[in-house]
Amino acid sequence: MSFCHSLSFCHCHADTDSERTGDGSLIELYRRMPPTGEPEQIDAVLTPRSSVLELGAGTGRIADPLARLGHRVTAVDDSDRMLAEVRHARTIRARIEELRLTERFDAVLLPTNLIHYRGADLRRAVLATVAHHLKPTGRAIIQWKPPAFWAARPAGWTESKKIGKATARVTIHRDLGRLVEGEYALMIDGSDMRQCFHLEVLTVADIRREFGNAGLRLLDRAPESTEWLQAVRARA
């Protein structure tokens, strides 16, 4: 997700005593967030022992399980404190839009709906990083939410769900058409951790255009029905 850069602009509760990264991300929430099947979903489309670059890896919720499954994973985040939680993947501290490694990868992951970053310039810079690091035969795997997902969740919508020993709650505070503001809360072991999110709704046409601008070609025939988009480098 794209989180607010200043907590004072959030419309959700913020625990200012909790340790956060520079963009407002709550470290403990990410550390304790239970698995919800993402590593297994990604592993299902990878070949064995793939080289994998995860952008915005946070505490390694996806990177570490993929590494344990036998993949060679490089986890990138701009927070040392987040990366300190990663145990099995190689770590690199960098901003996604500034990353330019000499290596190329079988798969580049852009999870947690980072494609919904507000602002076309930042989104295009992030996608340029994705394209830059793909092998000619590599595949980009990008998490997103289609417009129908947000249309079913107007301002005031809230939902709670049990995930193992935790309860996760999502609340939409403001729906401004293409802009959505809300809160993700995680309740576990007596702790109530909350994280703002500010997102931009993207259409399939937006996705195709932005991928094309980055030199990527969307593979999915029905992108509206999937959470994980797949793309390859477009032919020159």
Domain check: are 155 and 130 in the same one? no
User: How many Cα atoms are found within 13 Å in the side-chain-facing hemisphere of 225?
Assistant: 3
Report the distance separating Cα 195 and Cα 95, nearest Å. Answer: 20
pLDDT in the model for residue 85:
95
How many Cβ atoms are within 10 Å of 181's Cβ, its own excluded?
20
Domain check: are 89 and 107 in the same one? yes
pLDDT in the model for residue 152:
96
Domain check: are 63 and 118 in the same one? yes
Domain check: are 77 and 98 in the same one? yes
pLDDT by 10s per residue, the chain, length 236: 333 333 333 445 544 445 666 555 778 898 888 778 999 999 999 999 999 999 999 999 999 999 999 999 999 999 999 999 999 999 999 999 999 999 999 999 999 999 998 999 999 999 999 999 999 999 999 999 999 999 999 999 999 999 989 999 999 999 888 999 999 999 999 999 999 999 999 999 999 999 999 999 999 999 999 999 999 999 85
Domain check: are 119 and 61 in the same one? yes
Domain check: are 125 and 20 in the same one? no
How many Cβ atoms are within 10 Å of 44's Cβ, its own excluded?
8
Domain count, the chain: 2
Domain check: are 122 and 215 in the same one? yes
pLDDT in the model for residue 23:
59
To the nearest 10°, the Cα dihedral for 134, 58, 93, 206? 40
Instruction: Provide the domain limits for residue 229.
Output: 35-144+203-233
Domain check: are 64 and 126 in the same one? yes
Domain check: are 115 and 175 in the same one? no
pLDDT in the model for residue 2:
34
pLDDT in the model for residue 93:
98
